[in-house]
């Protein structure tokens, strides 16, 4: 269920939660692979030009930043060239023009920067972004303008040169930074960010992070670097930012960790997830941030370096995506009336609930099969002597005045990816909060606290909204009332508590699709989530939970209109992979 607070641990596991950030998982934050087969070789390389206008210099056309540009003098015969450092086979050139573009121009290559060979020419250049397939070999590549399309000169946001041979194309590279030694300008270690040290950015765990220290105040600049263990060719860097991101930063490479070469630079960093196509060689890679986006420092969930060479440590393999045709868990609750849930599948959680709830969860006293093919979780108004709950507005008592049931499959069944489905008739009236949901198994495996575990709410219902259910994701960067989800309301104002309904989610490495009675109610695209809300933390084992809560921060407490007992009936629960 949507945790408007930390779910309650049982017994000694509660102690573990206090230090849970000492533990990390090797779960994946896999960057989106570039579709192109070409490899960018011009970015960050030396660039010169026949002329420049004001501050719009040639290096600005090869810095990977589309907010900067090179501009020439206002004449026809002008050029810009890039020194690739070695003879290179050229297969593609991308010209990203500003409004001042070339109607006529040549693309040329040279071995010495003096003698030029034409590999493309046109007198009808359209401007905008031109992606040109070419064929030629040389150390130097030049765009030589011959006819302007406007009264101004020539102006390029980006002059990108790609090779299709002699290297690894995007999509075939490997993660070089996993498990490697990190260093940083400073690191945070306090109650707000426990053990937020550099190596947390290189552990492929999207729920742990590095952050700069607040001691003495958050200041510019700040940096984090990784030692790849050997010289490598870098073609991609993936940054998954915490809200404390860099507006301005450089990506730099070095052979010795002292002398640095810039391969990417921007003053318009966007935060969230940034996937940067770069080109550089070195053993060390550094993010050097010069302008914070807000009042805090810098913080990264992940700093991934991709390419070839180095001394990569193989990361744990990712789970295979499901085909949804193999039934791996099923309970249809066909036991005799009064029998407890199958102990081979379900574990009762006992004690008081989280989120300022008012119930006391019993050891299957409130959970039983009904003899008609359903499991019933019954919420009752009955006192539990010796217990302590938030004050009950109806009685004023701080002894728990309600009992109910909460079951999970931890230790019996946990899994990564699949189609999860249940047919449920929810409880109703004010103050009831039935839910069908999943929590990361590291909650118990590692003692890791919510929301670092991740939470997948397939169905939540609150009695004060009788015709609506909710499906929501929770993670460190989006949780509680700010969780990533959507409601679904029955047509005609019908009450969910009046009949059974089917609730399901399809979950794989690319996202999730939630459904109610076969209707798609919420779609989660992983790339969009990472680019707009924060890390995806759902590439590891989760377990199932059913519960019928009373009271809590979201539904509010029972009132004079609430009727007890209230039954949450489950026809079946099934999982396919």
CB of 548 closer than 8 Å to CB of 361: no
CA 230 – CA 219 distance, rounded (Å): 32
What's the pLDDT score for residue 316? 87
- Picking from 105, 135, 163, the residue at the C-terminal end of a domain is 163
Taking residues 148-166, report their average pLDDT: 89
In a domain? residue 466: yes
Report yes or no on 187 lying in a domain.
Answer: yes
pLDDT at 25 over 50: no
CATH number at 481 reads 2.60.120.200
Q: Please tell me whether the overall predicted TM-score, pTM, comes out greater than 0.75 for this model.
A: no
Predicted confidence at residue 244, as pLDDT, reads 95
Listed range (300-304, 448-452, 461-465) with the worst mean pLDDT: 448-452
pLDDT of residue 315: 87
Lowest mean pLDDT among 182-186, 193-197, 489-493, 566-570: 193-197
Residue 10 belongs to a domain: no
**141 and 208 part of one domain:** no
Claim to verify: residue 430 and residue 353 sit in the same structural domain: yes
Same domain, 376 and 483: yes
Domain carrying residue 205: 174-309
What confidence tens digit (pLDDT) does each residue in 492-501 have? 999 999 999 9
Higher pLDDT, 1 or 352: 352
Q: Which residues contact 192 (CB under 8 A, 6 or more apart)?
A: none
Q: Which of 213, 260, 208, 266 is nearest to 449 (CA)?
A: 208
Percentage of residues of the chain with pLDDT beyond 70 = 92
Same domain, 147 and 264: no
What integer is the mean pLDDT of 209-224? 93
Model pLDDT for residues 363-402, shown as the tens digit of each residue: 999 999 999 999 999 999 999 999 999 999 999 999 999 9
Residue 533 lies in a domain: no
Residues 292 and 392 placed together within one structural domain of the fold: no
Nearest in space to 526 (alpha carbons), one of 287, 277, 240, 323:
240
Domain boundary among the residues 263, 284, 309 is at: 309
- Which residues are designated catalytic? 455, 460
Q: How far apart are CA 434 and CA 423, in angstroms?
A: 13
Rounded CA-CA distance 52/47 in Å is: 12
33: pLDDT strictly greater than 50: no
What pLDDT does residue 54 have? Answer: 86
Q: How many domains does the chain have?
A: 3
> Which CATH number do you get for residue 106?
2.60.120.260
- 157 and 221 fall within a common domain: no
Residues 6 or more apart in contact with residue 198 via CB below 8 angstroms:
182, 183, 184, 187, 210, 224, 225, 226
Shared domain for 153 and 250, answered yes or no, is no
DSSP state of 532: H
Q: Do residues 488 and 380 both lie within one domain?
A: yes
* pLDDT over 70 at 521, yes or no: yes
Q: What is the 3-state secondary structure (H, E, C) of 478-519?
A: ECHHHCEEEEEECHHHCCHHHCCEEEEEEEECCEEEEEECCE
Is 354 part of any domain? yes
Same domain, 278 and 418: no
| Cα three-residue angle 141-249-191, rounded to 5 degrees | 155
163, 198, 225 — which closes off a domain? 163
Long-range contacts of 517-520 (CB under 8 A, 24+ apart): 519/488
Local structure of 43: helix, strand or coil: coil
Please indicate, yes or no, if residue 9 is contained in any of the structural domains.
Answer: no
Q: From 188, 192, 201, 208, select the one nearest 297 (Cα to Cα).
A: 188
Of 48-57, 243-252, 312-321, 478-487, the range with the lowest mean pLDDT is 312-321
Strands 402-404 and 359-361: parallel
Task: Place 164 in a pLDDT band, splitting at 50, 70 and 90.
Answer: low
Same domain, 369 and 411: yes
Shared-domain flag, residues 244 and 379: no
Classify residue 517: in a domain, yes or no: no
- Is the model's pLDDT at 349 over the cut of 90? yes
- Interacting residues of 338 by C-beta distance below 8 A, sequence separation 6+: 368, 369, 371
> What phi and psi values does residue 332 have, to the nearest 5 degrees?
-105, 5
**Are 400 and 447 members of one domain?**
yes
**99, two tokens:** 């409004």
Question: Is residue 75 a part of any domain in this protein?
Answer: yes
């Amino acid at each position: 269920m949507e945790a408007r607070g930390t779910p309650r641990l049982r017994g000694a596991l509660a102690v573990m939660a206090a230090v849970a950030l000492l533990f990390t998982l090797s779960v994946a934050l896999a960057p989106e692979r570039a579709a192109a087969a070409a490899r960018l070789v011009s970015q960050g390389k030396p660039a010169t030009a026949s002329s420049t206008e004001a501050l719009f210099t040639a290096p600005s056309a090869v810095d990977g930043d589309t907010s900067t540009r090179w501009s020439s003098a206002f004449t026809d015969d002008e050029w810009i060239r890039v020194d690739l450092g070695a003879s290179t086979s050229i297969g593609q050139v991308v010209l990203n023009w500003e409004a001042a573009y070339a109607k006529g121009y040549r693309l040329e290559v040279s071995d010495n920067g003096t003698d030029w060979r034409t590999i493309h020419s046109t007198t009808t250049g359209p401007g905008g972004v031109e992606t040109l397939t070419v064929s030629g070999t040389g150390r130097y590549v030049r765009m030589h303008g011959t006819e302007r399309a406007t009264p101004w000169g020539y102006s390029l946001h980006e002059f990108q040169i790609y090779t299709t041979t002699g290297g690894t194309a995007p999509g075939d590279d490997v993660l070089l930074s996993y498990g490697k030694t990190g260093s940083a300008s400073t690191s945070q270690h306090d109650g707000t960010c426990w053990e937020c040290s550099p190596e947390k950015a290189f552990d492929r765990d999207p729920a742990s992070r590095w952050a700069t220290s607040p001691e003495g105040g958050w200041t510019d600049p700040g940096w984090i670097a990784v030692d790849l263990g050997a010289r490598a060719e870098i073609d991609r860097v993936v940054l998954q930012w915490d809200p404390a991101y860099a507006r301005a930063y450089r990506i730099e490479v070095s052979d010795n960790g002292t002398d640095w070469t810039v391969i990417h630079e921007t003053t318009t960093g966007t935060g969230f997830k940034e996937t940067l196509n770069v080109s550089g060689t070195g053993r060390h890679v550094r993010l050097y941030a010069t302008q914070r986006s807000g009042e805090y420092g810098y913080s990264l969930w992940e700093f991934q370096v991709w390419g070839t060479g180095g001394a990569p440590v193989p990361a744990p393999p990712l789970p295979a995506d499901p085909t949804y045709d193999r039934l791996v868990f099923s309970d249809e609750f066909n036991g005799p009336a009064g029998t407890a849930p199958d102990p081979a599948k379900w574990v009762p959680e006992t004690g008081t609930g989280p989120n300022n709830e008012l119930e006391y969860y019993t050891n299957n006293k409130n959970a039983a099969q009904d003899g008609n093919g359903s499991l019933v979780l019954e919420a009752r108004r009955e006192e539990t002597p010796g217990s302590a709950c938030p004050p009950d507005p109806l009685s004023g008592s701080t002894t728990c005045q309600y009992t109910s049931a909460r079951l999970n499959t931890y230790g019996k069944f946990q899994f990564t990816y699949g189609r999860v489905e249940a047919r449920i008739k929810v409880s109703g009236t004010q103050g009831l909060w039935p839910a069908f949901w999943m929590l990361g198994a590291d909650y118990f495996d590692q003692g890791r606290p919510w929301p670092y575990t991740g939470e997948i709410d397939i169905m939540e219902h609150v009695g004060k909204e009788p015709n609506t259910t909710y499906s929501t994701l929770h993670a460190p960067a989006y949780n509680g009332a700010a969780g990533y989800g959507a409601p679904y309301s029955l047509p005609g104002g019908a009450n969910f508590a009046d009949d059974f309904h089917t609730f399901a989610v399809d979950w794989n490495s690319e996202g999730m699709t939630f459904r109610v009675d076969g209707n798609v109610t919420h779609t989660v695209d992983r790339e969009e989530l990472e680019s707009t809300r924060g890390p995806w933390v759902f590439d590891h084992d989760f377990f199932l939970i059913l519960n019928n809560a009373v009271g809590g921060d979201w539904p509010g407490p029972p009132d004079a209109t609430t009727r007890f007992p209230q039954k949450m009936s489950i026809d079946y629960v099934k999982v396919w992979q």
